[in-house]
């Protein structure tokens, strides 16, 4: 049965998906603070599913399945969820083309590296230390962190800033430039930064941020 692929790393991946789905519902109901926290949690799940996979003895078939599951999960967590949050935040149908560009960039990046990613790492040792372009998973920290600035801006400037941020991420996903892969201390630094950002979104002394 297909359920036989339900191993520990895939459970971590699916946990991120469930959190992302719940966050989409929260965002659609106006609970943007909680949806931002969910985006961060989904990013942490993605950060550690590979780590968990490396601790397991998995067959080549299990590894291939996990890679495909992770890629499909990225569409939900780092494609659909950020758009849902930003759409509710900006709340203007004129920004639909920007969200379409963002999702196209996510799909193109994931599809491209599904085809070329493994081959590139095998042929180019540098590819083992660097990503080509910004991974879509980084949105789980970029939008919650840089989105804090939008709160302090007037409404018009806030919407402009968020739309430019969305377009900037789209370009960052598809342009070819080296981005160092996280490792060692980054696995500690990223969760700490994510936790601090999540706490800011979850609760503040002056009340709800959004």
CA 85/CA 108 separation, integer angstroms:
21
Euclidean distance between the first and the last CA atom of the chain, given in angstroms as a whole number: 45
Mean residue pLDDT across the chain:
88
Q: Does domain 2-202 have CATH number 1.20.120?
A: yes
Strand 178-180 relative to strand 130-132, pairing: antiparallel
CA 19/CA 41 separation, integer angstroms:
7
Least confident of 28-32, 122-126, 140-144, 181-185: 122-126
Against a cut of 0.85, is the pTM above it?
A: yes
CA 158/CA 176 separation, integer angstroms:
29
Single out the residue of 58, 74, 159 nearest to residue 111, CA to CA.
Answer: 74
For the record, the structure tokens of 12 come out as 């971590």
State yes or no: pLDDT of 119 exceeds 70. Answer: no
Cβ atoms < 10 Å from Cβ of 100: 12
């Amino acid at each position: 049965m297909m359920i036989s692929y339900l191993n520990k790393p895939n459970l971590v991946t699916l946990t991120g998906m469930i959190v992302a789905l719940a966050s989409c519902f929260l965002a659609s109901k106006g609970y943007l603070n909680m949806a931002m926290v969910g985006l961060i949690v989904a990013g942490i799940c993605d950060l550690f599913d590979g780590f968990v996979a490396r601790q397991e003895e998995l067959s080549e078939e299990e590894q291939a399945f996990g890679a495909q599951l992770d890629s499909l999960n990225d569409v939900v967590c780092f494609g659909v969820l950020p758009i849902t949050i930003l759409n509710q935040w900006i709340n203007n149908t004129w920004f639909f083309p920007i969200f379409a560009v963002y999702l196209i960039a996510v799909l193109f990046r994931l599809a491209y590296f599904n085809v070329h990613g493994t081959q590139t790492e095998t042929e180019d040792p540098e590819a083992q230390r660097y990503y080509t372009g910004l991974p879509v998973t980084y949105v789980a920290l970029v939008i919650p962190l840089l989105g804090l600035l939008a709160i302090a801006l007037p409404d018009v400037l806030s919407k402009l800033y968020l739309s430019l941020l969305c377009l900037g991420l789209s370009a960052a996903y598809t342009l070819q430039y080296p981005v160092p892969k996280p490792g060692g201390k980054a696995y500690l630094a990223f969760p700490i930064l994510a936790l601090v950002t999540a706490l800011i979104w979850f609760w503040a002394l002056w009340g709800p941020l959004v």
